[in-house]
Amino acid sequence: MQPMSNKVQNPETQITKTTAMNDRDFINDILATEKYLTQAYSTALNEASNQTLYQDILHIFEDTQNCQRELYNMMFKHGWYSLDKATIQACEQSYQQFQQYKSQLPVH
């Protein structure tokens, strides 16, 4: 019987390790850039005072977010991106924390 892993991950697509950048390196770099851009566009959306500008940034944000998701899916498919499994205890702690925040909100 194999021990249970705390990672969610597909089998890794093997890449020959060299000093040159490989597909995994390039995709990882692009994914990091896309994550940074979505954060920056999100801030710009929050601060845009002109509706036309807001709509333009929103369209760019959506395209960037979709690209980021496609890159994430590709990396996950090839086993190059893993996630930690959430334990029942961690889920319960998050739920309790949310309930505390919720109880602090004013009731309308």
Helical segments of the chain, H only: 23-47, 51-77, 88-104
Site of tokens 């333009």: 56
pTM of the entire predicted model: 0.69
Output the pLDDT for position 4.
60
Q: In total, how many domains does the chain have? A: 1
Residue 31 within a domain: yes
Supply the range of the domain harboring residue 60: 17-104
Residue 12 within a domain: no
- The string of pLDDT tens digits covering residues 80-101 is 988 888 889 989 999 999 999 8
Residue 6 within a domain: no
Structural contact between residues 84 and 7, judged by C-beta atoms closer than 8 angstroms: yes
Residue 58 within a domain: yes
Residue 11 within a domain: no
Structural contact between residues 34 and 64, judged by C-beta atoms closer than 8 angstroms: yes
CA-angle at 23, arms to 19 and 29, nearest 5°: 85
